[in-house]
């Protein structure tokens, strides 16, 4: 890392700054593909959002790392991200080794999020599975007051995030909490369309997997419709929580 004011050419800062919601994705586009509607909705609510991409996605079937980085920043601009930071851990090589945990924990301390979101442990991609474990460990490490961590030689004080949620990218889940994203659905699709190299039409089968914007959008919509049905809305995004989610008022919780 360099200094905290470093910005990319399109104005999205690349170094962590204090946010309310921090998303950690294994590859550029995972944050948007998994919870783009939730990001748009929380942006509209005035929350500060930060994104950490664990890898550059350099082993992806389509798009160069530079293309994907440019697309990721363009997507982040749609939901007003305070920063988008890359750790470059190596595509398909993400581990939750102690040094990596502490590297991410230092970023979490600098970002001071109330809520952290990352992958579901059951996702198919090994990097997604590892990310779930890595982020869980890093959130825990970030909160340890006796663990000294630094960024560029500067000590970053411990930080306790209030919640850690996990989102799926390849399945429908029951979910512990579901977010209605019906009102931001078109904008949510735009966060995916920003990744032109990944979701380029027309859809074609590559190594037995369908690639193409129409297919990705259809899959995203189908999943969101299934999640939406569970809470009686058109589109929703689902999350699991590591902890129980507290409520002060059950009537207010269920009122529509
Ligand atoms: Zn991914």
Q: What is the pLDDT of residues 125-143, one digit of tens each?
A: 999 999 999 999 999 999 9
Q: Give yes or no for a contact between 40 and 175, defined as CB atoms under 8 angstroms apart.
A: no
Q: Helix, strand, or coil here: 188?
A: helix
Q: How far apart are CA 185 and CA 240, in angstroms?
A: 21
Ligand 1 centroid to residue 117 C-alpha, Å: 14
Using an 8 Å Cβ cutoff, are 16 and 23 in contact? no
14: tokens are 């690349």
The residue with tokens 């939750």 is: 96
pLDDT of residue 202: 57
Q: Is pLDDT at 4 greater than 70 in this prediction?
A: no
- What was the pLDDT predicted at 35? 98
Residue 2 pLDDT level (bands cut at 50, 70, 90): very low
pLDDT tens per residue across span 22-55: 999 999 999 999 999 999 999 999 999 999 999 9
Distance of CA 151 to CAs 15, 20, 78, 160, 167, Å? 11, 20, 28, 18, 28
Ligand 1 center–CA 26 separation, angstroms? 5
pLDDT confidence bin for 203, thresholds 50/70/90: low
Q: Does domain 21-242 have CATH number 3.40.50.10320?
A: yes
> For the chain, what percent of residues have pLDDT higher than 90?
78
Instruction: Calculate how far, in angstroms, residue 89's C-alpha sits from the geometric centre of ligand 1.
Output: 13
Angle between helices 185-193 and 213-231 (to 10 degrees): 150
How many angstroms separate the alpha carbon of residue 13 from the centre of ligand 1?
22
DSSP conformational letter for 9: T
Distance 233 CA to ligand 1 centre (A): 27
Mean pLDDT of the chain: 91
Q: Which of 88-92, 180-184, 204-208 comes out lowest in average pLDDT?
A: 204-208
Which residues on neighbouring strands pair with residue 177, listed in sequence order? Answer: 239
If you measure from the C-alpha of residue 187 to the centroid of ligand 1, how many angstroms do you get, rounded to a whole number? 21
Please spell the DSSP secondary structure of 139-153, one letter per residue. Answer: HHHHT-TTS-EEETT
How far does residue 92's CA lie from ligand 1's centre (Å)? Answer: 9
Say how many CA atoms lie within 13 Å of 32 toward its Cβ: 32
3-state secondary structure of 179: strand
Angle at 182 (CA atoms; ends 176, 187), nearest 5 degrees: 115
Domain edges within the chain: 21-242
Ligand 1 centre from 205 Cα, in Å? Answer: 18
What angle, rounded to 10 degrees, do the helices at 213-231 and 30-44 form? 50
pLDDT for res 18: 98
pLDDT tens-digit series, residues 141-166:
999 999 999 999 999 999 999 999 99
DSSP state of 28: T
Position 217 confidence tier, pLDDT thresholds 50, 70, 90: confident
- Per-residue pLDDT for 9 more than 70? no
Distance 53 CA to ligand 1 centre (A): 10
User: pLDDT confidence of 8, banded at 50, 70, 90?
Assistant: low
């Amino acid at each position: 890392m360099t200094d905290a004011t470093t910005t990319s050419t399109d104005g999205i800062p690349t170094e962590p700054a204090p946010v309310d919601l921090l998303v950690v994705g294994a590859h550029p586009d995972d944050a948007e593909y998994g919870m783009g509607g939730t990001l748009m909705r929380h942006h509209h609510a005035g929350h500060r959002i930060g994104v950490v991409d664990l890898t550059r996605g350099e082993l992806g079937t389509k798009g160069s790392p530079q293309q994907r980085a440019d697309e990721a920043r363009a997507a982040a601009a749609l939901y007003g991200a305070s920063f988008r930071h890359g750790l470059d851990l190596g595509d398909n090589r993400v581990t939750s080794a102690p040094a990596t945990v502490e590297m991410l924990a230092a970023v979490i301390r600098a970002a001071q999020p109330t809520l952290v979101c990352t992958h579901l442990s059951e996702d198919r991609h090994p990097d997604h599975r590892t990310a779930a474990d890595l982020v869980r460990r890093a959130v825990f490490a970030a909160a340890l007051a006796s663990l000294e961590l630094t960024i560029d030689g500067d000590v970053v004080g411990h930080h306790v995030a209030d919640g850690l949620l996990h989102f799926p990218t390849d399945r429908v889940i029951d979910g512990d909490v579901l977010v209605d994203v019906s009102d931001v659905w078109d904008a949510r699709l735009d966060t995916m369309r920003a990744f032109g190299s990944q979701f380029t039409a027309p859809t074609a089968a590559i190594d037995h997997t369908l690639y193409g914007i129409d297919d990705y959008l259809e899959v995203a919509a189908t999943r969101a419709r299934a999640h939406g049905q569970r809470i009686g809305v058109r589109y929703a995004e689902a999350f699991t929580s590591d902890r129980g989610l507290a409520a002060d008022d059950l009537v207010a919780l269920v009122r529509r």
